[in-house]
Amino acid sequence: MIIGKDIIQQNNKIEVGNFNSDFAYLSDKLTKSGANVSEIVNKIADFQVAIPSWALGAGGTRFGRFSYGGEPSSLEQKLDDVGLIHALTHSAGAISLHIPWDIPNDVAAIKEKAASHGLIFDAMNSNTFQDQPNAKQSYKFGSLNAANEEARAYAVEHNKEVIRIGKELDSKSLTVWLADGASFPGQLNFQTALSKTEQSLKEIYSDLPEDWKLFIEYKPYEPNFYSTTIQDWGTSFMLANACGERAYTLVDLGHHLPNSNIEQIVATLMYKGKLGGFHFNDSKYGDDDLTVGSIKPYALFLIFNELVYGIENNPNNPYPAWMIDASHNIKDPLEDLIQSLEAILIAYAQALLVDQKSLKDAQLNNDVVRAQEILQNAYRTDVRPLLKAARLQTGAALDPIAAYRNLKVRENLISERGLNVKATGL
């Protein structure tokens, strides 16, 4: 199924009347308060978030998985799904692949398909947290941190292979997320595990092309319940520094202990020019990988406030790579991703509304009340007309979920692909 611009335009007619009056009202209000509305709309229109290939089918928990009809079962179909989301939103212009789940058979055909949907290949993801069929070494007791030298070398080689595949696809980065750690005290020598990890990452880094970046993800728990070798941003930051200039920390929103001040972590990393990538999701308890903004939208806004500040004030920090890292257990994955994109752009737009000059002023005068008012004024603005304006500008759907349903996208996918297909991945 392909959704052309003409169909979207046709569909937008239902909504455009309401949009015009909502936008006129908001734009007038914001302009009076000194905001540059067209600049903000352009920034929203330009903001692109990568969709991970493994988020397009139904996820699951260790207790069960309920499949979703019409799931993509090949890399081509995954590209088609991201293409559909991008056509409806114009904010998902990239896909993030996972090796070995997404090894391309025909590189040229895959590149052509991606280009036909206007997609680029974002970060490549390696997988040393599972043993593949016919694996020559096991990662049961670790991969990049493994005490067993053969297993460690095998894991390093896998990452180099992922870089080779990514180069063919014109990807420009590698994300390393490790499950390495210990389930019980005494299982690992912390220092040895950390030094092996550092050595392995340096070996991978030495293979990184000049125009590539290495993103090092961290996570405090799960699957190793007692300790994880790269447990927090400090460990990731230290390892990135040990590797070199093109190695960065990647922040995944779900990878923190409860109540961590993620916005402060973002600020610290950007101050040092080391925030390379970002995984969006939301959670109630841990790494729940729920729809972005479904649980803690104010926290998301505060994080975006730091991201926007950092993008403007830390030229030493590269523009971060954005990705949604979520799991869809009961919702239609494509609808869930569209909801996530909406939440991301809402938080971004609200952060763009923060009056940075007045905020600085309030801070200098220790006017705590005023500082809070400034942030909350932005947060409490219904910015959705700005998102719609951006979408109208780029030929996307005013209301992407409504369009998805009106155009019967899922029904079409089910009739094309069948009811009982399973996406490759987690």
Identify which of 277, 321, 281 has the alpha carbon closest to the alpha carbon of residue 299. 281
Q: Give yes or no for residue 180 binding Zn ion (CB under 5 A).
A: no
Binder of Zn ion out of 71, 122, 232, 325 (CB under 5 A): 325
The residue from 80, 263, 282, 287 that contacts Zn ion (CB under 5 A) is 287
Q: What residue is closest to ligand AOS based on CB?
A: 177
Q: How far is the CB of 219 from Zn ion (least distance, A)?
A: 6
The binding track of 13-32 with respect to ligand AOS, each residue x by CB under 6 A or -, is --------------------
The binder of 336, among Zn ion, ligand AOS, none, by C-beta within 5 to 8 A per type, is: none
Q: Which window, 72-80, 284-292, 339-347, 415-423, contacts Zn ion (CB under 5 A)?
A: 284-292
Nearest-approach distance from CB 252 to ligand AOS, in angstroms: 5
Report d(CA 106, CA 253) in Å as an integer: 34
Cα(222)–Cα(128) distance, rounded to whole angstroms? 15
Q: Do the Cβ atoms of 307 and 320 come closer than 8 Å? A: yes
The reply on whether position 158 binds ligand AOS by CB under 6 A is no
231 binds, among Zn ion, ligand AOS, none (CB under 5 to 8 A by kind): none
The answer to whether the bond into 100 is cis (omega within 30° of 0) is yes
Judged by CB under 5 A, the number of residues near Zn ion is: 7
Q: What values do phi and psi take at 311, rounded to 5?
A: -60, -35
**71 is a site residue for Zn ion (CB under 5 A):** no
Does the footprint of ligand AOS cover residue 325 (CB under 6 A)? yes
126 vs 350 by CB, closer to ligand AOS = 126
Q: Which residues bind Zn ion (CB under 5 A)?
A: 252, 254, 279, 281, 287, 289, 325
Positions that interact with ligand AOS (CB under 6 A): 54, 98, 125, 177, 217, 219, 252, 279, 287, 325
